[in-house]
Structures are given as C-alpha cells and as structure tokens.
Amino acid sequence: MKEITLGVMGGGQLGRMFVHAAQRMGYFTAVLDPDPLSPAGRVSHHHIQTAYTDPAGLQQLSDRCVAVTTEFENVPAQALAQLAYARTVSPGAEAVAIAQDRAREKSHFESCGVPVAPYAVIETPVQLAVVPDDLLPGILKTASMGYDGKGQVRVHTQAELAAAWADLKNVPCVLEKMLPLQLECSVIVARGADGACVNLPVQRNLHRDGILAVTEVFEGNLPPALVERAVAAAKLIASGLQYVGVLCVEFFVLEPDSDDAAALGGLVVNEMAPRPHNSGHYSMDACDVSQFELQVRTLAGLPLTQPRQHSPSIMLNLLGDIWPDPDFSPPWAPVLALPGTHLHLYGKAKASKGRKMGHLTITGHTVEQVRATALQAAAILGIAPF
C-alpha cells in the first residue's frame, strides 16, 4: 500500500494530537520543529529538526508530504507560502498572516459584519496622542506574537497607556476598550476546500491569568439564540478568509444590561486561532468526530460530517502549577478512579508554572454528574473550583 504522509509545522501538543488522529486513520506523518524533544516530533513517523524558515527543512517536508498544516498561529506565514508552491497547505499563508496581526484580524472581522470591541491601532506617537478617552479603561495588546495573556497590559488613563506602550518597546499595538463581560465562549469550525463547513458545539470557557482553565460543553450551557449567532459569525469569518482547515473563533458575551451590550448586540468577537484550540480538546472524548480528525479530513480532502456530541463534558486544563515537584506527578490514581475521567498528557519533559502539560476531560450521562465529578477532580489536583 502506498505511503501517504501528512505534514505539520510545529511540534507542540496540538501537533501531537493531530499526529495521533492522522495515524489512527492510516496516514504517515511528518513534523517540522527545531526542538529534539517536541511532543509531536517524538510520536511522528518523521521529525524534521530544523528552523521553520530553513529552506532545506521546508524542502524535505515538501518532498515527504502530500499536504501540510500548522499547529500554532505564529509559524512564519512566508514558510507556508513557500510550501504552497508545491503542496497543498491549509490553512493558507494569507489566513495565518491575518490571524498573526490583531489590526488586520479586527479589520477582517468588521468586513464580515461581526461586531468587535471598540479599538484603536497604535503604531506611531501621533496615533497614541489621538486615542480617544472613551476607549479607556482598555487593554493594550501587541499586534503580533501575543498568546495566553502575554503581550497585554490593562490601562486606565492616558498616562498609563503611554507608559505601557513604552514598556512594550513601542511595537505596533491595538488598544481595546474594556467591556463588561458576562462570560467567554468559543466556536470551532472546520471548512473544506469545497466550501463545506461544520462546527463543534459552542464552548463556554473560563480563563484565569489569561490562560484557559475550564471548558464546559453541554446542551443549554448558553442561550440558544446566542449559540446560533456565534456559530453563524464563526462561519462568516471562515468563509471571508476562504479558509480551509480548523479555525477557532473566541467571543466575549457582554453583561446584558450594559450600554455596550445594547450597542454591540451582546456578543463581540475577541480573536481567532487558525488551528485546533485548547477549548476543543473535550471533543476527543465527548464527540463522534474530534477537532483533530476534522483537521485531518480538511487536509486530506475527505468529507466533513457535522460532529455529534454524545455526552455532556467539562475539560480542565492541567498546567505545570499542579506538579508538586518536577520529579513527581500529580495524584492521577484518585482522579482516574472517578467515573468518566479521561487523562491526556502531552509528553513534555519538564513541568513549569503556566505551562500546559495536559488536560482532563470528564464525561457522563448528566450535566449534574459531570460537574460533580469535575469539582472532585479539581479538588484532588489543587485546581480552584469553578
């Protein structure tokens, strides 16, 4: 039987789970990542250990693979463009480049008719000087290379804004008005080259210190009208990009009685990730088609079917904070003695504060059962209740 190899740029945990999904479906895999201990590289058939822009490494990936995807948004877009001369690449370089630039990203959202928080682009001292007062208090975010709360500063006055921009080395930034938030949610869509588009159920998310902590997914976790609007908006964003692959779109749900909610319709898009997403990991245990199988299907040109969630689910993100010591693991035995618990560790050699080491998915027959088990697991692991 002919060997068919799918490639992925990036060797982190998302690449690792993509590799597992592709291998389960009978594909060979190749990972390009400079780290010799990368989680995805350690389980892939081929690990090309070069920089993401290395011409020889890119040529080797192209020679081995029929198609290539990416597992993190900061892979150099020019590398994807170079690969696309000879191979199918999804998502495409232009879509990834837009996701890498907050200003371009927000412009794209607006062009799709999807509301965003009021904002201003700050690239020069002149632009800083004319920022309107009604955008304060706000969050100053670097236009590129920010994730998990990094590259973000809360500011309340014009003086704080100027000082924060200086602390960020005067790099291009976006200032977003702080809005009264009720909660956060996300939608993961998969779009094929033929324009077919499916979605996972809308995920309700809790972040702590800028990092996703808990995802809850079950029928009724959000009002039906809001779910419908969020899914429609995510599909509009993907279609506007002519996107092929798995895309996560994150939203803010505003406090319903606020003036901002009335002006913006209660739901604004925050950002998008051109890849599978932490909030979709529950789909590996709670859905008949996971986000990683959807990624394989879009890359290989296979049919997309609408995922069906068969169990209520809560996902707990497992950060390095819960490791008592680098040489000792958390107490997995009592956690896994709880019904409906599914442990996924990412194969990372060393735990550190804030580092994503794995996730725990809890499934069950009822929402009440799942929540009770999730709270028990959180207490055992020293994760704050929710």
* Single-letter amino acid code for the residue at 118: P
Record the pTM. Answer: 0.95
What is residue 82's three-state secondary structure?
Answer: helix
Residues 134 and 238 in one domain: no
Domain end among 41, 73, 89: 89
**What CATH number corresponds to the domain at position 140?**
3.30.1490.20
Domain end among 157, 177, 197: 177
Residues 157 and 64 in one domain: no
**What CATH number corresponds to the domain at position 77?**
3.40.50.20
Residues 353 and 219 in one domain: yes
Residues 243 and 371 in one domain: yes
Domain that holds residue 138: 118-177
Residues 209 and 327 in one domain: yes
Residues 164 and 263 in one domain: no
pLDDT at 148: 61
Residues 375 and 244 in one domain: yes
pLDDT at 151: 82
CA distance 377 to 210: 22
Report residue 144 as tokens: 């590129």
Residues 40 and 148 in one domain: no
Residues 225 and 352 in one domain: yes
Residues 124 and 262 in one domain: no
Q: Is residue 94 in a domain?
A: no
CB 47 within 8 A of CB 73: no
Q: Is residue 99 in a domain?
A: no
> Which residues of the chain fall below pLDDT 50?
none
CA distance 66 to 263: 47
Termini Cα distance of the chain:
50
Residues 341 and 295 in one domain: yes
pLDDT at 259: 80
The total domain count for the chain is 3
Q: Is residue 262 in a domain?
A: yes
DSSP output for 201-270: PPEEEEEETTEEEEEEESTTSS-HHHHHHHHHHHHHHHHHTT--EEEEEEEEEEPTTSHHHHHHTTEEEE
Per-residue pLDDT of 220-273, as tens digits, reads 999 999 999 999 999 999 999 999 999 999 999 999 887 877 777 899 999 999
CA distance 138 to 109: 19
pLDDT at 262: 76
Residues 19 and 36 in one domain: yes
